[in-house]
Structure 1
Amino acid sequence: MSARPISYHGRRFRPVADGTGEHTRVAHYYQDDDLLWGEFTGGHARRGTLAGRCRPDGSLDFAYCMVLDDGRIVSGQCHSTPEILPDGRILLHEVWQRFGAHADSGVSRIEEIPAADPSLTTRGAHR
């Protein structure tokens, strides 16, 4: 029996709290077939967007661009691997690379925000 494909459409994510304050960032994902896109705000990001693909195994490959609170514009790419948590939420393990003058790379984790938590929304998110 094969696993049911993951749909990211309408799911919201935030960084796993690590003491940096970035856990206030909220990303809202949308999906149509293998096409993935999203928006995020909070943390040090005034506004950000992403666009990419969802693979059959649920992993994600996307590019992102954001304007930080200090006015810098940052872009990069990310590969995310999903882990289904015991409560059914998704934890994404991200390997990212930032381009340009502020080039960097790293790993991070973001977790799905429970649907019952309406206090964490993305301002201005739309399809």
Structure 2
Amino acid sequence: MSIDYDGRRFRKAGGGDGVVARYHQQGDLVWADFTGGPVRRGTVNGTVDPEGRLHLAYTLVMTDGAVISGATVNTPEPAPDGRLVLREEWERYGRHTASGVSYLEEVR
């Protein structure tokens, strides 16, 4: 599954919390910047594999001053309306250690 992420925007599924990420891509290199809701600034950087899975590292600066970092693998799933949904398996490091699964939906 070849997916071009360049210019696509994603938020948490179900309407989100005000955070929207805008993705960029050059070859297999993918990155995004995001702000909104509880995030003052966030970035992800990584690669996309031939199946369209994203392998990313992220950093967040939250509105409460917390700095959070981690890694995620996002697997694309097509939504019935043609948008992409990313199944996000994430892990946080350091003081904010946690892990889980969440979903991001494409914003058009």
State the TM-score, normalized to the length of structure 1: 0.81
Alignment match, 1:33 = 27
Answering whether residue 103 of structure 2 is matched by residue 109 of structure 1, we say yes
**Residue 74 of structure 1 aligns with which residue?**
68
Q: 2: distance between equivalents of 1:79 and 1:55? A: 11
Kindly indicate which of the two structures has a greater share of residues assigned to strand. 2
Segments of 5+ residues of structure 2 without an aligned counterpart are: none
Give the letter aligned to residue 78 of structure 2. Answer: I
Runs of 4 or more above 2 Å deviation: none
- Tell me the alpha carbon deviations over residues 64-109 of structure 1, each in whole angstroms, 9 at most, x when there is no partner: 0010010011000000000111222100000000000111111100
Question: Equivalent residues in 2 for 1:36-115 (5 A)?
Answer: 36-114=30-108
Match of 1:15 in 2: 12
Gaps of 5+ in 1: 115-127
Structure 1 CA distance for aligned equivalents of residues 79 and 96 of structure 2: 33
Is the CA contact (8 Å cut-off) linking 1:17 and 1:23 kept in structure 2?
no
Bigger radius of gyration: 1
Q: Percent identity?
A: 48
Helix, strand or coil for the counterpart of 1:17? Answer: helix
